[in-house]
Amino acid sequence: MAISLQGMIERAARCNPNGECLRYQESSRSWLQVKNRIASLAGALKRLKLNESDRVAILSLNCSNYYEAMFAIPWAGCCAVPLNTRWVLAENEYAMKDADVRAVFFDDAFTEQVRLMQASLQNLCSAIYIGDKECPEWALSMEELIAEHKAIPASDRGGDDMAGIFYTGGTTGFPKGVMQSHRAIWASAMSALPEFRLQRESRYLHAAPMFHMADLAGSMSTTLTCSTHVIVQSFDPAKVLKLIQSERITHTLIVPAMIKMLLNHPDACNTDVSSLEMILYGASPMPAATLQQCMDMWPNVGLVQAYGQTELAPIATLLPMADHVKGGDLLRSAGRPSSISDIRCVREDGSDCDLGEAGEVIVRGPQTMIGYWNKPDQTEKALRDGWVYTGDAGYFSETGHLYIVDRVKDMVVTGGENVFTTEVENAVMSHNAVQDVAVIGIPSEQWGEAVHAIVILKPEATVSEEEIISHCRDRIAGYKLPKSITFRTEPLPLSGAGKVLKTELRKIYWQGQERQVN
Amino acid sequence: MAISLQGMIERAARCNPNGECLRYQESSRSWLQVKNRIASLAGALKRLKLNESDRVAILSLNCSNYYEAMFAIPWAGCCAVPLNTRWVLAENEYAMKDADVRAVFFDDAFTEQVRLMQASLQNLCSAIYIGDKECPEWALSMEELIAEHKAIPASDRGGDDMAGIFYTGGTTGFPKGVMQSHRAIWASAMSALPEFRLQRESRYLHAAPMFHMADLAGSMSTTLTCSTHVIVQSFDPAKVLKLIQSERITHTLIVPAMIKMLLNHPDACNTDVSSLEMILYGASPMPAATLQQCMDMWPNVGLVQAYGQTELAPIATLLPMADHVKGGDLLRSAGRPSSISDIRCVREDGSDCDLGEAGEVIVRGPQTMIGYWNKPDQTEKALRDGWVYTGDAGYFSETGHLYIVDRVKDMVVTGGENVFTTEVENAVMSHNAVQDVAVIGIPSEQWGEAVHAIVILKPEATVSEEEIISHCRDRIAGYKLPKSITFRTEPLPLSGAGKVLKTELRKIYWQGQERQVN
């Protein structure tokens, strides 16, 4: 019996029909209700003439309907394309066009974006409104679709079949669509369970955005255990603290920047976190000081780290609760390979590194991506003989713990989001006054790393930092914008092969600090 | 990347090369050593002209070499057939012939059986001796094969491909070979991990026989976490207690009859079991009194129950540690569906039972068998639309716990082994003096159930209980032999359809006792 996302819902509804599945704002839905809504919504998708494996996007802040849309799509045999809510129109339009999306689910935050895209994208036939206000005239209402359509049997797609396309920043300056199978998403969630320790009575808070592969892993684990999903529309530290207490949250997944905001919030000390058993964190470097602060303030909350990437659906290693010891050396580690991950650190010639010797981290397992959508050349580079080449450099210790020391791919991780510097450089370069630019990550208390641009202007040109940033604003998402710019007149330092030596450029910013890159 | 048994070994050897993999008697082997031995042994199998998917049997008591043989077979692309060490020559010969086995691994306990089989089975080309004494002249030595052959790359079979054939007693009187895929065996082990809670530092004791699917699940979980396998040749309560203390065992899997023997052994009180974190039990009914006794004597040892069958590789439900509360109602339950299991209780017309209403338990998931080897008719009955029909009757409670109330298949579970009564009845009927027979399970302090035969002799025939049992001894394994016989003269009670009413026959033996059948 092939594993499938829709099968996970069928199973959960059978195991725990009357248990609370979704809790959002004042509303609550049982597993059986959610399954029935999904099956009817899938019936509606079929009537919209969507064919097997057609792509259907979701562009929405977190809500109950997001979860249902995410499963109605595979229930109907289609592929989900969850879009980045922080991207600007141009970026999401690029992804929608690239994936040849036929229908899109959206909420109030994206009414304007979707209206514009419907005009520009010929193949985008249907827009389905999942918000809780008034449905725009030009869109279909999810509630009406559910009410008007009968439940259909779940599609028998599954296993190695593509379940979704997940867009990430691209090394070449364009977003890449990571194709993930039903099996990969399921296997990654299975591998998290022994450390994440969800039980049926657990209450998982979707604090991170639901489009993100990291939250998807937490979401799928919660689905495997038929536990309760509690959803907050977007991350707000005060709201999240309040929900942890009022909803008796037991588990959540957050990125380090979010943990910091929670711990530093004035309400943190007065919040009752006694229900909280486990925080799974990952997706960006976690400063040791933040970990210590968390263990000091919330000594009874277990911490588990996950390291991976979208191409691994997304988990490769886990650092279990027991390894989170105050002042312990392991806190710098990304953990050990999860039970499904075979991991090597390899030299440029492909041979295995010795213990302690850093090389590119490559990962093999049932969670590896099918490839990049429509990008055979990049797939060939990133996926060789079943191994995903992560672009990160790391080494194994004697105890089998992986330590990440650098990123082979030129990337800044800021607040849990990957920013490929080429994308930012392209945006900056499109300004008339700019002659050359290099973008690097510099240390940031709040974001782990901040995007910084070093700009060389054309002779006699003058332009301010603000002007360049504002010029980029229509081209790339807010989190990709340079947070700061320095101007220089001498040429950028180049390697023998003519590549900009970013290690040189980074040096002065990182003096006396270790750049944490796991 | 498809999951495979050989891939699990490659991964473990990479994750934990120097960690202790196998410990047996005085010897110890690291994961890297074991991987290299497996890869060389697989090289030898290839040189023996074994082709892709050829069947290779193992007939041996527990030992380190058993584990290596079990993985060398799939490494070479072949299918493993672990044979029941309690079966007599005729039974194992039947299985070997049925599966068309080409080679067999054996130890000292089975030298005679294998020598006879080599004479009678034309297609059995090679016999490989894995014992620690002298290799018979007519056999190959595993140690020599390893020394003489180079390591070969692991086969790329995996996923849905058949990994092995596991023989169980058959409802029709002949053993059935359950075909299991790489994925099924892997998925079942993955589903046990969250409750079984193995860590890399865990030490798992193979106390149950390694041919048994139950021990295979524990073994595979241990392989997933790259922990240590400690092996005892066969179950002996004094030895097992000694090993738990001296080897600092943390986890083990045993059947209820074994737990009883451990708890009642005079050494039990003086054994240091402080290392023991978890006992996984299953495969036969566990009397509540035994559970209570265990919780009283070893209050710090966690208990986890698994229910399932070979057709489910073998886990369907798990009753976690937290549900093992003294005097608790849940102790009668088989637990909740594991994270991969979709379970229904269905009426004869196929419709779903209500909560509390008993029906046949059917299970769907990535762990379901491919089917019965060479038995399409029986496969069609047991596997319908992806659902395995377990032959057990059960119901779900409000809390989603499964309770097993009866076996639809006519079967006795004695000391963790399934005995299909037809097999025993066939053996008894083959005695000249017997006119009719019915075999049932009756309560037994030691075995949970004991095999009991009710015999009607031919007119004027006389024969003793001992004579009939001795007559059966060459035909069926010792554990299948009737432990007791009653003679009767009146005909057996029949149903309208002419079937023997075993419920009637059982009644007088089970008066005042609940027949536990999970």
List the single residue in B with minimal CA-CA distance to A383: B1
B468 close to B481: Cβ distance less than 8 angstroms: no
Longest CA span, chain A: 71
Under-70 pLDDT residues of chain A: 1, 170-173, 283-285, 406-409, 495-499, 514-518
Q: What percent of chain B has pLDDT over 70?
A: 96
Structure tokens at B48: 């023996």
Q: Which of A490, A482, A481 is nearest to A457 (CA)?
A: A490
Pairing status of strand B383-384 against strand B387-396: antiparallel
A1 with B386: Cβ contact below 8 A: yes
Chain A residues 284-343 within an 8 A CB cutoff of chain B: 320, 322, 336-337, 339-343
Cα torsion through B273, B275, B278, B282, rounded to 10: -50
Kindly tell me the burial class for residue A82, based on how many C-beta atoms sit within 10 Å of its own C-beta (0-12, 13-18, 19 or more).
buried
What whole-number distance in Å separates Cα of residue B364 and Cα of residue B313?
A: 12
Give the long-range contacts of residues B291-299, CB within 8 A, separation 24 or more.
Answer: B291/B324, B291/B331, B292/B326, B292/B327, B293/B263, B294/B259, B294/B263, B295/B324, B295/B326, B296/B326, B297/B263, B297/B268, B297/B269, B298/B273
Pairing status of strand A101-106 against strand A126-129: parallel
Helix (H) or strand (E) holding B448: strand B448-457
Q: Report how many Cβ contacts below 8 Å link chain A to chain B.
A: 75
Distance of CA B286 to CAs A299, B332, B506, Å?
Answer: 39, 9, 19
Beta bridge partners of A404: A394
Amino acid identity for residue A317 in this structure = T
Amino acid identity for residue B72 in this structure = A
Cβ neighbours of B16 in A, within 8 Å: 400
What whole-number distance in Å separates Cα of residue B205 and Cα of residue B221?
A: 12
Predicted confidence band of residue B47 (pLDDT cuts 50, 70, 90): very high
Give the long-range contacts of residues B429-433, CB within 8 A, separation 24 or more.
Answer: B430/B471, B430/B475, B431/B463, B431/B467, B431/B468, B431/B471, B431/B472, B432/B458, B432/B461, B433/B457, B433/B458, B433/B461, B433/B462, B433/B463, B433/B468
Residue A384, chain B, CB below 8 Å: the answer is: no
B336 close to B307: Cβ distance less than 8 angstroms: no
In the sheet that holds A434-444, the strands lie side by side as A434-444, A448-457, A484-487
B224 with A339: Cβ contact below 8 A: yes
User: CB count, 10 Å around CB of B509?
Assistant: 16
What whole-number distance in Å separates Cα of residue A214 and Cα of residue A185?
A: 11
Distance of CA B269 to CAs A144, B264, B296, Å?
Answer: 68, 9, 12
What whole-number distance in Å separates Cα of residue B474 and Cα of residue B452?
A: 18
What whole-number distance in Å separates Cα of residue A297 and Cα of residue A299?
A: 6
* Whole-structure pTM value: 0.87
Structure tokens at B196: 């079984």
Choice among B33-37, B46-50, B415-419 with the minimum mean pLDDT: B415-419
Q: What percent of chain B has pLDDT over 90?
A: 75
B369 close to B311: Cβ distance less than 8 angstroms: yes
User: Per-residue pLDDT for B497 more than 90?
Assistant: no
Which positions ≥6 away from A278 have C-beta within 8 Å? A196, A197, A250, A251, A252, A301, A302, A303, A304, A321
Q: Which residue has the tokens 């599966």?
A: B99
- Residue-wise pLDDT for B84-96, tens only, equals 998 889 999 999 9
Give the per-residue pLDDT at B409. 67
Q: Which of A190, A200, A225 sits opposite B190 (nearest CB)?
A: A190
- Which carries the bigger pLDDT value, residue B310 or residue B498? B310
What whole-number distance in Å separates Cα of residue B338 and Cα of residue B316?
A: 6
Cβ neighbours of A366 in B, within 8 Å: 1-3
Give the per-residue pLDDT at A257. 77
What whole-number distance in Å separates Cα of residue A99 and Cα of residue A77?
A: 16
Distance of CA B55 to CAs B52, B181, B261, Å?
Answer: 9, 14, 36
Structure tokens at B16: 């934990």
Distance of CA A28 to CAs A19, A66, A216, A297, Å?
Answer: 10, 14, 20, 31
User: Per-residue pLDDT for B205 more than 50?
Assistant: yes
List the single residue in A with minimal CA-CA distance to B338: A225
Which positions ≥6 away from A344 have C-beta within 8 Å? A352, A353, A361, A362, A387, B14
What whole-number distance in Å separates Cα of residue A243 and Cα of residue A469?
A: 36
> What domains does chain B contain, in order, with CATH numbers?
5-316 (3.40.50.12780), 334-407 (2.30.38.10), 413-510 (3.30.300.30)
What whole-number distance in Å separates Cα of residue A194 and Cα of residue A206?
A: 20
| Mean of the per-residue pLDDT values of chain B | 92
Structure tokens at B335: 């637990």
CA distance A30 to chain B (A): 14
User: CB count, 10 Å around CB of A279?
Assistant: 25
Pairing status of strand A371-372 against strand B278-282: unpaired
Give the per-residue pLDDT at A413. 83
What whole-number distance in Å separates Cα of residue B111 and Cα of residue B99?
A: 20
Q: Which residue has the tokens 């524990």?
A: B218
Residue B32, chain A, CB below 8 Å: the answer is: no
CA distance A323 to chain B (A): 12
What whole-number distance in Å separates Cα of residue A315 and Cα of residue A161?
A: 20
> Phi and psi (nearest 5°) for B268?
-55, -40
Q: Which of B158, B159, B164, B188 is nearest to B177 (CA)?
A: B164
CA distance A185 to chain B (A): 13
Q: A379: which DSSP letter?
A: H
What whole-number distance in Å separates Cα of residue B168 and Cα of residue B312?
A: 12
Start-end of H helices in A280-340: 288-297
Choice among A283-292, B33-42, B185-194, B238-247 with the minimum mean pLDDT: A283-292
Residue A3, chain B, CB below 8 Å: the answer is: yes
Structure tokens at B262: 């451990």
Predicted confidence band of residue B41 (pLDDT cuts 50, 70, 90): very high
Give the per-residue pLDDT at A104. 98
B76 close to B100: Cβ distance less than 8 angstroms: no
- Residue-wise pLDDT for B253-308, tens only, equals 998 778 888 999 999 999 999 999 999 998 666 777 788 899 999 999 999 999 99
Give the per-residue pLDDT at B170. 62
- Residue-wise pLDDT for B304-350, tens only, equals 999 999 999 999 999 999 999 887 888 889 999 999 999 999 998 89
Predicted confidence band of residue B238 (pLDDT cuts 50, 70, 90): very high
Q: Which of B199, B225, B339 sits opposite A224 (nearest CB)?
A: B339
Helix (H) or strand (E) holding B206: strand B203-206
Amino acid identity for residue B252 in this structure = T
A336 with B200: Cβ contact below 8 A: yes
Q: Which residue has the tokens 């607040």?
A: A415
Give the per-residue pLDDT at B408. 64
Give the per-residue pLDDT at B518. 42
Q: Which of A126, A132, A130 is nearest to A146 (CA)?
A: A130
Helix (H) or strand (E) holding A417: strand A417-420
User: Per-residue pLDDT for B24 more than 90?
Assistant: yes
List the single residue in A with minimal CA-CA distance to B387: A1
What whole-number distance in Å separates Cα of residue A4 and Cα of residue A180?
A: 12
User: CB count, 10 Å around CB of B426?
Assistant: 18
b/e sequence B53-79, b meaning 16+ C-beta within 10 Å: ebbbbbbbbbbbbbbbbbbbbbbbbbb
Give the per-residue pLDDT at B499. 66
**What is the per-residue DSSP string for B115-173?**
HHHHHH-TT--EEEE-SSSPPPTTSEEHHHHHHHS---PPP---TTSEEEEEEE--TTS
Q: Which residue has the tokens 């022994």?
A: A194
Residue A478, chain B, CB below 8 Å: the answer is: no
Q: Which of B305, B388, B312 is nearest to B346 (CA)?
A: B388
Residue B346, chain A, CB below 8 Å: the answer is: no
